[in-house]
Amino acid sequence: MTTFETAALDALLKGDDPVLAILRQQAVMASVLNREVTGVGVLTNVVISEGSPLLQEPLSFKLGDVFGEAAELDDGFGLLLHVSNGRIETLEAYAFGDTWQAEPERAFFHYQEPSGRNMDKVRETIRQARRGS
């Protein structure tokens, strides 16, 4: 994983929640399967090592409340983490109004809410995944 990808995962998995705690453990043991530069972003597909902890339930959901600023992207960027069947699957970074030329060298990450991460919304996303919504 690149420095940017590691920092992005750290921001996406931050918070006091048992699901996020297990996903953080997976992230430490993840390796890059491939990267697809789309022109407006990049999809980093990952493989979770055997022996990594898995979620007790095979949940599938997306976390997308992290955004960022970087000198290379005038209008900033957003992040999505795709979790499939209880495993981290893809980290998606996408530019707002710019083309994604190269990975930002220095990025500043922030949450959708000005006051910080809204863990109630994160937990609601996980609850909806449990209900199959």
For residue 97, what pLDDT is reported? 87
- The pTM score is 0.94
> DSSP 3-state assignment of 109?
strand
What's the pLDDT tens digit per position in 66-123? 999 999 899 999 999 999 999 999 999 999 988 888 888 899 999 999 899 999 999 9
Contacts of 99-102 spanning 24+ positions with Cβ under 8 A: 99/39, 99/40, 100/37, 100/38, 100/39, 100/40, 100/41, 100/42, 100/73, 101/72, 102/72
For residue 19, what pLDDT is reported? 97
Residue 92, beta-bridge partner list: 43, 80
Residue percentage of the chain with pLDDT more than 70: 99
